[in-house]
Amino acid sequence: MTFVISALGGAKYDIHSTDGSNLLHLTAFTGDLKLTQMMADLGIDKHTRDIEGWLPVHYACYYGHTQVAKWWVMIFAVKFGNEPTVRFTFMIACVDLSV
């Protein structure tokens, strides 16, 4: 995976690969929760989709990294409302991807 670093407004740097994924996709893929949290805290875009349309949470779910997936679910729950339907929707997405 080759990553390209470019300066953007909003975030100090946008670091992404040629398939559109960024460092959060990579940390979700590897299952490293601490590194995922650190990258998110540094301002790496949480909403970047790869060429397949996947967010980092999809990588965590698909590759079975439940701790990282649960962290992502809580991040989205805070952003979109901490209600059961939001949490349920993301958990169903994880179940669908891990089958």
Tell me the H-state helices in 1-99.
Answer: 23-30, 33-41, 56-62, 66-80, 84-98
- State the pTM of this model: 0.69
Owning domain of residue 22: 3-98
Structural domains in the chain (count): 1
Task: State the pLDDT at residue 90.
Answer: 62
Task: State the pLDDT at residue 14.
Answer: 59
- One-letter amino acid for residue 97 of the chain: L
Give the CATH number, domain containing residue 24: 1.25.40.20
pLDDT in tens, 18-71: 888 988 999 999 999 998 998 888 888 888 889 998 888 889 988 989 899 888
Q: How confident is the model at residue 11 (pLDDT cuts 50, 70, 90)?
A: very low
DSSP-derived letter for residue 64 is T
Task: State the pLDDT at residue 43.
Answer: 81
